[in-house]
């Protein structure tokens, strides 16, 4: 019986405060932490942003044949202690959880099991209880713990005051030194003692300050989202220490302007879909965000991540059916060229030789000018215009295959004559450089026209059709009905009504009926308004609707615009974040922690937000 009666001892391993779970349903009991760390754990939870996902679509439970759910207004009434677990769809009390091990009592449902009796709202008030209830005692302990005199920052400030007022005064020592310049080997008693204390409070002096800056930046972004819909851009990369990190960027539309915002770097132990999803859940719980508000997912579609990201896409889509996935257009176009290069030996050899000469493979992409032209514009375009450019590129490639051989040969001949280069006789037998003694049984014309020119273009067209099959899906086709170019010539009410049906969480049946009438009024209004005559894309249309206040008179149409703009077509911000990571974390600074790295990166990328 001894093994069963023996009390569970706390873990002797120190817990990293940055790894504490944000979701209340994933926390372990306070008693399980090491006694020397419990107060630190409590402070960390009390200073964090509350886990109150106001924008979450709270799950309904059938109680007494009536659907019941949690109401966000309860946060306003009990916001100082009430937390909500998105994972378990239950409510918890933070104060009782933090001090549940110090005294028996309290409501177990609010501490460990979670509360989900949504039909009994009065239990929230009952949990608070009278003056000396378990809850109020726990709340008083939280307040005592967070008193200014007990906080780490105040302790450091108080330590500085002691050093200045007590030590120096009691010893009769001067505050100022003879030479207080930076290059001085002895800056005086005060500065030297301050430096000495600072070296032993490195976390307070450096990491806490950086964390405060980064939290301010991210909180401003969360306020900008304001419980509205947004998109999620995700990619992973290894730093100089070979640690895998995942970048998360919100692609949001606010006041008619599409914005990309970097909100954090999450360390993942592996690049499996479950690990990536866990990292996203952790960040969402930290800032009280909900996956139910995600309306677009964007990944680069690279080969090494394609399978896992497809798995991640599925996991997110299970929680938000309207979180549609769009490949990064820029990466997909680049991968079209790369795939052809790998499949055709002579094209690969050509690129290799060019790369040796100029040391930049991109310089050789002039062969595929139509593809490169799209790559130059794709990052600044919305879904509809980008889709059109992709289709235009496919038509140009097909036209080049059908009618471009003669013009290409003429350009080659002119080049050879201009630079006094030997011209190859196309009627001669082709000699394979890998097997020069073997008869190839084909002429130079057949090899270069059929085996190279036609084959490479057919490969490109095949890659386009394979990689952009989702671009031609019904969702993206419907967005073309919003294109304002040529006086809204592509306006199609049926497409837009179908587009609204694809977002059942944003358009109810009644709103879909109202949308049909509102679209007729909208299109007549904007066509008669001269200010809308020269618009080029959907982004311009959204901004002008805000400026002219037409988003107020046509709210359902503007909602369609907003959903269209939250479909990400490129991931340049994600790539810039990884570039910033290589600057912040170098070989000489390879021991930087994960949370500190994320904080530094947020401050580095969002420099403008730090200006006072």
Domain check: are 404 and 424 in the same one? yes
Domain check: are 511 and 556 in the same one? yes
Residues 6+ apart with CB under 8 A from 87: 23, 25, 26, 281, 285
Using DSSP's 3-state secondary structure scheme, residue 68 falls into: strand
Using CA atoms, how far residue 320 sits from 297, 445, 569, 573, in Å, is 11, 55, 19, 24
Domain check: are 320 and 437 in the same one? no
**Residue 597 and residue 267: Cα distance in Å, rounded?**
10
In a domain, 507, yes or no: yes
Token pair 């949370």 in the structure block, residue: 595
Using DSSP's 3-state secondary structure scheme, residue 287 falls into: coil
Using DSSP's 3-state secondary structure scheme, residue 463 falls into: helix
User: Cα dihedral sign for 594, 600, 606, 612?
Assistant: positive
> Pick from 98, 123, 147: which residue ends a domain?
147
- Tokens coding 350: 């050509």
In a domain, 4, yes or no: no
Domain check: are 585 and 549 in the same one? no
In a domain, 153, yes or no: no
**pLDDT of amino acid 14:** 67
In a domain, 214, yes or no: yes
> Pick from 468, 501, 528: which residue ends a domain?
468
> Pick from 439, 468, 497: which residue ends a domain?
468
**Residue 291 and residue 383: Cα distance in Å, rounded?**
22
What CATH number should be reported for the domain holding residue 284?
3.30.420.40
Domain check: are 376 and 464 in the same one? yes
**Residue 128 and residue 22: Cα distance in Å, rounded?**
23
Token pair 């677990």 in the structure block, residue: 85
Residue 82's H or E segment, with its range, is: strand 82-85
For 77, phi and psi rounded to 5 degrees? -85, -35
CB 444 within 8 A of CB 384: no
CB 189 within 8 A of CB 170: no
Which is nearest to 530 in space by CA: 548, 513, 518?
A: 548
Q: What is the CA radius of gyration of the chain?
A: 31
Domain check: are 477 and 389 in the same one? no
Using CA atoms, how far residue 408 sits from 343, 411, 413, in Å, is 22, 5, 9
Domain check: are 528 and 513 in the same one? yes
In a domain, 239, yes or no: yes
**pLDDT of amino acid 271:** 72
Indicate the angle between helix axes 405-418 and 383-403, nearest 10 degrees: 80
Q: What are the average pLDDT values for consecutive 10-residue runs of the chain, which has 612 residues?
A: 46 68 85 83 82 84 89 86 90 88 60 87 87 86 72 49 49 60 72 66 61 83 84 74 68 73 80 81 84 81 50 82 72 64 67 56 43 44 60 81 87 86 84 80 85 82 66 69 88 91 90 92 92 87 90 92 79 65 70 78 73 50
Domain check: are 336 and 463 in the same one? yes
In a domain, 65, yes or no: yes
Domain check: are 481 and 457 in the same one? no
**Residue 250 and residue 229: Cα distance in Å, rounded?**
10
Using DSSP's 3-state secondary structure scheme, residue 252 falls into: strand
Domain check: are 214 and 199 in the same one? no
Q: Is 381 exposed, middle or buried (0-12, 13-18, 19+ CB in 10 A)?
A: buried
* Residues in the chain, overall count: 612
In a domain, 271, yes or no: yes
Domains of the chain: total:
5
Token pair 């471009």 in the structure block, residue: 404
Domain check: are 43 and 114 in the same one? yes
In a domain, 1, yes or no: no
Domain check: are 536 and 454 in the same one? no
The domain of 176 spans 159-204
């Amino acid at each position: 019986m001894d093994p069963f009666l023996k009390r569970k001892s706390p873990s002797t391993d120190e817990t990293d405060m940055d790894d504490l779970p944000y979701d209340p349903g994933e926390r372990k009991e306070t008693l399980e932490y090491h006694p020397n760390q419990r107060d630190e754990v409590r402070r960390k939870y009390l200073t964090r942003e509350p886990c109150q996902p106001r924008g979450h679509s709270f799950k309904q439970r059938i109680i007494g044949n009536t659907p019941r759910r949690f109401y966000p207004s309860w946060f306003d009434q009990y916001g100082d202690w009430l937390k909500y677990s998105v994972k378990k769809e239950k409510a918890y009390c933070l104060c009782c959880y933090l001090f549940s091990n110090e005294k028996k009592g309290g409501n177990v449902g609010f501490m460990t099991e979670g509360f989900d009796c949504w039909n009994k709202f009065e239990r929230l008030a009952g949990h608070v209880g009278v003056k000396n209830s378990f809850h109020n005692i726990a709340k008083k302990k939280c307040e005592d713990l967070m008193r200014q005199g007990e906080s780490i920052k105040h302790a450091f400030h108080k330590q500085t005051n002691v050093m200045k007022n007590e030590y120096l005064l009691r010893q009769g020592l001067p505050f100022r030194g003879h030479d207080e310049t930076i290059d001085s080997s002895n800056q005086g008693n005060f500065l030297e003692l301050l430096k000495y204390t600072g070296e032993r409070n490195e976390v307070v002096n450096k990491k806490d300050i950086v964390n405060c800056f980064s939290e301010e930046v991210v909180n401003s972004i969360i306020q900008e989202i304001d419980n509205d819909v947004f998109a999620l851009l995700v990619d992973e990369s290894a730093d100089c220490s070979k640690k895998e990190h995942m970048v998360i960027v919100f692609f949001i539309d606010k006041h008619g302007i599409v914005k990309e915002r970097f909100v954090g770097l999450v360390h993942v132990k592996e690049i499996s879909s479950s690990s990536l999803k866990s990292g996203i859940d952790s960040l969402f719980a930290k800032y009280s965000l909900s996956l139910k508000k995600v309306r677009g997912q964007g990944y680069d579609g690279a080969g090494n991540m394609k399978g896992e990201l497809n798995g991640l896409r599925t996991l997110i889509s299970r929680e938000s059916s309207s979180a549609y996935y769009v490949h990064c257009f820029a990466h997909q176009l680049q991968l079209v060229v790369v795939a052809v290069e790998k499949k055709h030996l002579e094209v690969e050899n050509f690129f290799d030789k060019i790369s040796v000469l100029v040391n930049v493979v991109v310089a050789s992409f002039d062969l595929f000018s139509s593809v490169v032209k799209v790559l130059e514009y794709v990052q600044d375009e919305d879904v509809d215009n980008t889709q059109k450019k992709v289709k235009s590129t496919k038509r140009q490639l097909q036209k080049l295959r059908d009618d471009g051989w003669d013009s290409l040969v003429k350009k080659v001949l002119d080049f050879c004559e201009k630079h006094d280069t030997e011209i190859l006789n196309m009627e001669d037998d082709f000699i394979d450089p890998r097997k020069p003694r073997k008869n190839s049984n084909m002429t130079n014309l057949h090899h270069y026209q059929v085996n190279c020119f036609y084959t490479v273009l057919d490969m490109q067209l095949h890659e386009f059709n394979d990689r952009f099959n989702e671009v031609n899906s019904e969702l993206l086709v419907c967005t073309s009905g919003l294109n304002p170019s040529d006086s809204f010539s592509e306006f199609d009410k049926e497409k837009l009504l179908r587009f609204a049906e694809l977002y059942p969480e944003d358009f109810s049946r009644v709103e879909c009926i109202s949308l049909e009438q509102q679209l007729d009024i909208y299109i007549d209004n904007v066509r008669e308004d001269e200010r809308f005559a020269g618009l080029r894309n959907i982004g311009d249309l959204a901004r002008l609707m805000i400026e002219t206040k037409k988003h107020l008179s046509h709210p359902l149409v503007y909602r369609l615009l907003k959903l269209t703009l939250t479909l990400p077509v490129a991931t340049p911000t994600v790539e810039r974040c990884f570039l910033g990571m290589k600057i912040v974390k170098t070989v000489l600074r390879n021991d930087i922690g994960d949370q500190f790295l994320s904080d530094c990166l947020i401050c580095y990328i969002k420099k403008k937000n730090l200006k006072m």
